Every structure is written in C-alpha cells, then in structure tokens.
Structure 1
Amino acid sequence: MSRPSLSFRFAFLLSLSFTASYSTYSSSSHSSSSLFIKPRSSSTNPPSPKSTASDLLSLLGTPQQVASIDPKTAKELRSCLKFLVPQSPSRIGPEFPKPSLRRALTLESSDSVHNLSWSEVNELVWWPPPPVAELARLAVDSGGDPDAIYLALDPTIIPVPDVEECKENRCELTRTPYGRCFINEELNAYLKFLFEVIATRGPSIGLTVSLSRFDFFHGHLFLATGTGRLGILFHAKEYPAYDKKVFPHNMGYCQIGSNVVYDDSMNFRNILWLAPMPSNSKDAFSAPGVLVVLDGHPGGIIYRDLIPAYVNYARTIYEEDLGDAVADVNYLNIGDAMPDYQIFIC
C-alpha cells in the first residue's frame, strides 16, 4: 500500500491543527479558574520513550545494536514480534545450503517449500544461498545505495499481464505496467520461496493468507537507514472487502470483488524479512536472516509508534520509514486453468 495522497494528508494535518488550537484555548481558559487547586504530583514513572523503526531494526540486528536500545522499548517491541522462523539459529553461520537444498529451492513448482523440512526452511532464512548473501553484502558495502540493487536486475522488460481480471475492473495492481527480474535465477527463486514460506507458516501465528491480488501478492524491497541492510516489508490483506459496518473504506477499483475479511488477522499484515547482516570481515556475517510478523494490534507499541494515525485502520507500516525504498516485489498468478506464480519487480 502506497502512502495517501498529499491532499488527504494535508486535510488530516489541518484538522489536527484546529484540534490543537481548540485544546490550547480550552486549557488556558480552564487554568484561570484553577489557580488555587493543588496540582497533582507528577508520576514517579516517566512516560515510555517513543520507539522508532530504527529501534525495530536494531532489535533484529547484531548484539551491539540490540544493546543500544532502551530496555523498556526493547521489551515492548519483543512482545509484538511473531517469528515465522526462530530468531536464534541452531548453529553459528554462515554455512551455505547444500547443493541439494539449493536445487529444491529453484524448482519451478511453488511446492518447493513443501518439499523441504522445517529445519531446512529455517536454514534458508538464516543463511540464504550465496547469491542472496552476496546481494546483501553489496547493499551494505555500497552504503545503502539502491543502484547497487538495480545493477543486479535483468534489463529485459516484462509486461505485467492481466491478473485475476484486473483489467475488467480497471485495477492497476502494480506500480508500473511492466516488471523485471534478477539476472541470477537463484535470487528470483528465493523471492518466491519467501512468499511461500509466509503463506505456509502464517497460520501458526494467526495469519491465514491467500496468494491472490486481493490479499498477499507483494512486498517492498528496501535498504535500512544507517546500515544498508537488505530487507523486504511484505503486506498481506491488501484489499479487504468493503463492509458498511466492519470496513467502510473505499480503496478503489482493485478492491472490487475482494473476499478478504477485515478481522483481527489484519493486525498481522506487516511481515518483515531481513537478509543476514554482513560484518566487516569478508564472507562473514554478524546477524542471521530474519522472517517475522509485526503485530500491530491496538494498544501495542507497533500500533502506537510505527503505524501512522491516518492509516491505522489498515495497520500499514511504510517501507520508507525503514529505509530507502528500492522496488516493489510482486508475486502474481498469471495462470489460467492452473496456477502459475511469477515474480515481477517494479
């Protein structure tokens, strides 16, 4: 989901300014009549510091980064993390996957995840195949320059076909009407793998998704602020069905025909993948890969601090808040009788 239009955000901010002005006037008027009332003693517990996207990324980073976070903030953030792959690897890496495991990953069938054991999937997230690790290092060594990622893309332009009757409903599903892929096929296979792992393991934490254009079909590739760490912020539940009582929000042509129910699983719509964090030593990494669902339930620190108020009904975290946006990664079913999912990087 892209950010709302400037006019919408301006209107929202304007309404806030009126509210603030009224609040200030009311407060000053009230204070004149309460000069002789004993003020309440200040609370002994200072308010919790506002967390940032950088805090979240640091918590999923190196031991040094974790130690830099306010302990109370770290505890609150941890309470809102639902790991699809355990955060702590069963062994110290990296140790690149065995050739047989890499072959299973590059199978044309989307069933490749189902051909892997639970521990094999974990290993592929913690310590991805060499092409993924090399791209992660390139991102960091470049200082977080998106051009480093663009150079790894095949220049061939691939038109995005009509997906699940988009054209019939005048739905422009992707950022551009064409996409690209990585030159290295193993990188494209790994992107497919991530989508399939999320869809397969999501129900274990309460996130059931369908790989469809209304629900789970895209993520946003970014380079983290300050470190250049490679990541993807996936968004599920993209177009919930309009419902006058439950979800009275018109989201445009792409919402038409949606069967996605707006319920508590909307809290889990932000899923974060981080590549292993390269260290200063060549071929060494200081933090493993991560795949985690960000719990945005009302009352939690992620809802309070990381989800903008003007879009909290959709529980959306924006990739620009995590770092420099590079491209959208779309996983689209372009098949007719049989499903045929392909990657389009736009």
Structure 2
Amino acid sequence: MRSAKVLVVNLGALGTEITKCLVLSGVGSLSLIDSHDVDSQDLESQFFVGKTDVGSKRLDAAAPRIQDMNPRVELYFDKDDFRDKPDSYFQQFNLIVATDLHSADIMKLNAISRRFNLPLFVAGLNGLSGYIFVDLIQFDATDEKLKSSVATPLKQVSQNREVIEVIEFLNEEQNKVYEKIVTRNIYSPFEKMLQEGTLKGKLTRRQLKRLTNAVPLTLALLTYADGAAVISPPELREKAAEKCSQLGLPSENLQETYIEQFAEQAGLEFAPVAAVVGGAVAQDVINILGKKQSPLNNFIVLDGITLDMHIFEL
C-alpha cells in the first residue's frame, strides 16, 4: 500500500468516495486527473465542494479538503483532460481507477492499461443503479483458511478462476493447520465483455428468471459509445433485448418501469449509490494492492431498488 501509485480519473460522486477511502487507507501516492468545473449536480452528490466553488475547477476546490484527510499520502492534482494525455503518462502508475466514462473512452483506456499491464477499475452510476468493471488481466490472489478434513484441491473453480497452489502451514499460536490458497484470476477486456459476455450455462433457470433488469439495461446503456443526451425508452428496450439474448436471459422479463427509470436516470449521480459502489471499488483496490483475498472478477451491477449487487464473470 505505501509504495503504490494510484490514478483516479474524474472526481465526481464516485471519484470522491473512492478518493476518500484510498486516502484514509494510507495508499502511498494518489494522483487525481479531472478537467471539469464544479456544477450544481456536484453539490448534491459529493462532499469535497460547496456552493462557493461552483464554476471553479473541481480539483482546485477539493484539493485542500483531500489533503487534510491524511497528510502522509502523496497527492498530485492534474486539471488536464485525461484523453489529451499521451499513453506513456499512464505507465507511471501501478493501478488506474476511472469513473464517469463513456464506453468509447473506457475501451481506449483499457487498451492502454493492457499495453502496460496495469490493473484497471471502471465504475459508473445510473441514478439508483451502478456498475463496476474490473480488468486485472491476470492476478494471483492468496487466501488463508483453516484446513478441513478434506484438503483443498488444485482445480478450475470457474471459467476465469483456478486454484494453482495450496500450501499447508502450522499456526503455532493456535496450534492448528491452515491452508494458503493461491487462486489465479484471468480477466476479459471491456470490449470483449460488452460484446461477447454471457451468462449462458452459468446460472440455473430459476436464477436467470429472477435476475434483476438492471443487468441487461446497464450493458445496454454502455452500448452508447459516446453517451446520449436523450435516451428514449423504446430504443433502450430494443438494446436491452439484444443484451438479454447475448446473456441468455428471457427478454420478456424486462419491465417497463425499469426501462423508463434507466432511460431517465442514465448518468445521474446519487450520493447513497455512489457510497456503496465507490466503497466496493476502494475495498477491492486495497485488497489487490495487498494481494489479499480473491478480487472482483469482472462485472458488478448494483440495483438500488432491490438492493441486489450481482457479480458476474462475463
């Protein structure tokens, strides 16, 4: 943690929550890049800015408050647009967290992160819903557990996870035998996940029928490469039906109330939802920097209506 150099792209509601958690956790170096000005939505969805900051740069307004949280963290603030940076700019970091991006920018950033073998987290909000995409490319996580009567075998746990090493050791303090389990996680890039990700054969028929509408609708919104000023419910329904077909979900389960909600709330930031999604991102970043516990792999959707938070390997 103390030697890690992390980049956070955009300081909206999600970026604020993630920044707070990482700074308080004691990450070694945190760089923030954001070219936006403070607007009225920022006042409703985050806590680093106030009314007197409207019209000024987010980073200018937020910097003093962020620095006050933990003076031991090295902080760097960059008010350029991240899209104007050369690819080499990103190479200096150990991990990238990007928020509030359109899918075209996600794909571009993901190509850069893979080129330099950098872990990437992407998160976004759609009103009462939110999502997290994770691409660690390949990551070996270590977990420890008390050994049971049956030793943990080396095996394929799922499509993208495999137990590759199990080491027994004696906990002298407890006088009990534990296992150190190394699990290899393989990740798909964002573009492949969006275009080819499926749940076919991964869930029971009952699970598929009960799956929240937020999943295909979130993926449908991500098909708008550069976003859309106005999203019509009929067009969104069509895109969501296509995603249902890709995922292996019954499209007849799509509900008009969900479709209208997602069309109306696309890109909106609500502070309570940002707290949940941002907290999940920050905790996983902390885990992987310490190489402890198996990380999220690779797409997570929060439904703020049902309070379900699904994790999928897509």
The question of a shared fold, defined as TM-score above 0.5 by the shorter chain, is answered with no
Instruction: Tell me which protein shows more strand as a share of its residues.
Output: 2
- TM-score, normalised on structure 2? 0.26
TM-score by length of 1: 0.24
Highest CA radius of gyration, 1 or 2? 1
